[in-house]
Amino acid sequence: MQIQKIAVLTSGGDAPGMNAAIRAVVRTGLEKGWETFGIRYGYTGLLNGNIIPLGMRDVGGIIQRGGTMLGSSRCPEMRNEEGKQKALQALKDNKIDALVVIGGNGSQTGAYSLSQLGFPVVGIASTIDNDLCGSDITIGTDTALNIALEAIDRLKTTASSHKRGFLLEVMGRNCGYLALMAGIAGGAEAIVIPEAELDPETIAEQIHSSYERGKAHALIVVAEGAKNNAESLIAYFKEHGKRLGFDLRLTKLGHVQRGGSPGAFDRILATRLGAGAVEYLSQGQHGVLVGWINGNISATPLSEIANKTKSIDMELFKLAQILSL
């Protein structure tokens, strides 16, 4: 495969470090003598032909910026054959030889569909949920986790001052990775995740037990996608008048976890994955996701990634329960 032009897009939810990955793709591509292009607003931009040239200076000063300079979007059209064919035609019309897709599950499923149509595509693992197969950790996860941890540390300070309990909701629609890791690192008394639901009475007993043991505060970390989510738990405790021992308050982090500058780990990870994607293309390898496995840049076939999610380590959930005693 002779490459002269490559394009890069970011799709789905933004993640801190995406800009660092864009920068690495563009600059390593240019170093190989290729023309490099950016596709604005993900697959939606691709379908609309919103493709711009990117040079060395166009990606200067972006490594420290959160979000994505190219913009992102969800694109339902990529789920049907007509949308896929339209995307393929847009790439051919712009004489693009290969595509790099930075994103999570939905984005890489779209990448796989284009690969199945015969177009050279390489994915880069990027999602704060860390639920993408083919990478031990994905771009944005570390920064999002540290933002959640900072919030926990601040909440525990004020909670101790007033002998209060806080219920903190973090992102994680279908995966409890962020809630679990933030809960362990932050010393939570209870963690509620989609993979291991806890009934409200069990949570109440854990918090009341903490109060009886003389703890000055209590913390419950809840993934937004849990069946017993933050709002339903607050409503349950109020309705049933359950004596927790602590005055319980609710805090939702929401999209605060996505925003802001990426940390050092995510900048370096994104840079290495971006450069790795270009390297794989130069070697004629495509139809793969570039991720971080066992401390190395690795490629996993997109066929093993599409429409799948990575399970969390439930042994860590058991450990969290032990440590909360």
Catalytic, out of 14, 129, 142, 266: 129
What is the b/e burial string over 44-80, where b = at least 16 CB atoms within 10 angstroms of the residue's CB?
Answer: bbbbeebbeebeeebbeebbebbbbbbbbeebebbee
User: Distance of alpha carbon 145 from its chain centroid, rounded?
Assistant: 10
Whether 153 is catalytic: no
Q: In sequence order, which residues have a C-beta less than 8 Å from that of residue 52 and are 6 or more positions away?
A: 37, 38, 39, 40
Q: Residue 93: name the closest of 22, 17, 7 by CA.
A: 7
Query: Alpha-carbon distance 236 to 150, whole Å?
Result: 27
Structure tokens at 187: 């010393």
Question: Residue 161 CB: number of other CB atoms within 10 A?
Answer: 10
For 264, other C-beta atoms within 10 Å of its C-beta total 9
Catalytic residues: 129
